[in-house]
Chain A
Amino acid sequence: MAKELQVRTKKRLSKDHWTAIAFLIPSFLLILVFVYGFIGWTGYVSLSNYNSLVPDFSFAGLKNYIYLFQDFRFQADLRNTLFFTILFIGLVIVLGMGIAVLIDQKLKGESIFRNIFLFPMALSFVVTGVVWQWLLNPSTGFNQFLSVFGIQPKWYTDTNILAGFEWGSIEFGLPVAIIAVVIAAVWQMTGFSLAMYLAGLRGIPDELREAARMDGASEFQVYRKVVLPMLMPITVSVVIIMAHISLKIFDLIYAMTGSGANFVTDVPGVYMFETTFRGNYYANGAAIAIIMLLLVAVFIVPYLWSNRKGEQ
């Protein structure tokens, strides 16, 4: 605030200040065209009849959107995305926070543990997909251990929908197959929330916990009443970052399972890719992309807005 006032009272910016702004202009223009311009273009395509190799930009109104919301595959995608997002975020937070609290106990070898949980973050979703496709293959992988207990889950090949009921043209409920994909995604992304929570825990002064202990709080109460509330802003960030990853996920599922039988592991990202680049239904693909963008924007826009306000 003070900074801006100062600039404003100076009235005219210095020559160097104009140079600075000039250096920002190319990036600004690139983002303007490649992000906002292209989104606008995609929006335009999504309202057109461009559903074959031959470009046809005649106006179709909401036809493509209406088609999607009545489409079995897209309805399944929305259901899968919903359950994937809830399970994925929930597990990443619980595991990340739990491991962070354990590691933060000044144990010996904490850096070894930290490195083990963090390294999947350095891998590609494609690598993760290729490996977990085998680990959760019903006839090998983890099922070899589980056979001792007599259970043999079908993992991503399971077509059951838990607690399902008719809804539109699909059965709404938790698709069992999605759990397999969630496990792989959680394996990869837990390191992210772990790193965030560890940084958060380091930021809480020891005196604060000490004071609570002096007041007779048990170790458990110290965490519940003092530490966890202070980690709330981190949890908000983790939820938002994970939500946007989850809503646009593509590579992991494409590499690990594909759409699956009855589209039990299909997501909008995979549908968009296949219908646009394999089927040449450009307008339909564009409509899926716009819906994905709107879903992500629900999380991201308020987040960016509050960050921006917080800085002024």
Chain B
Amino acid sequence: MLLQLNNIFKWVNSGGQRIFLLKDINLEVEQGEFISVMGPSGSGKSTLLNVIGMLDSFDEGEYNFLDESVHSLKEKHRANLYKQYIGFVFQSYHLLDELTVKENLEMPLIYKKVKGSERKAMVADMLDRFNIVGKKDLFPAQLSGGQQQLVGVARALIANPKLILADEPTGNLNSKQGEEIMELFKQLNEEGVTIIQVTHSEKNAEYGSRIINLLDGRMV
């Protein structure tokens, strides 16, 4: 088992009232799953993803990731944990504008303190695998949206994470580009990577092996 959420609650206080963002979430994710999280706007999809990614905290409940209890970990250990095991893909790619494709890919490795020669090899490998060798010296602004997201996925993958969290990865792409990215996810999943994606599109959700529906912070 990769991760387990037990009775997760998350709320904000507004005007003396508690507004629940997540309400009693129970979820188990096995290695190799491909989960699609669906639901209308404001239902808590992104919040759930952020909690799983340890970017956001929660107010009540237990979260175990690879037998580590995340809820009792300190910030620094949590950061180490997600640095090592989780890769993120965003709707608006969030590539660093002032770095080239190659340098963007290198970034997570630098933060993981991977040695220079090894880093080069891994980057070259990834460029090869995604067929973007020719674009390695271009800046994000010189790429199309699909290409940028490709780089985004490549960057998420480069550190060999166990889990990829994707928050509407195709939201900013046209249908053809979106399809390509989803195909890529499917392929990665077949290679053994666990993926959790948030999506609005029924069609994209079909790529997953399991669909979770959220409504007002609650699983339905």
Asked if A pairs with B, the answer is: no
Query: Which residues of B pack against A, CB within 8 Å?
Result: none
Query: Which residues of A pack against B, CB within 8 Å?
Result: none
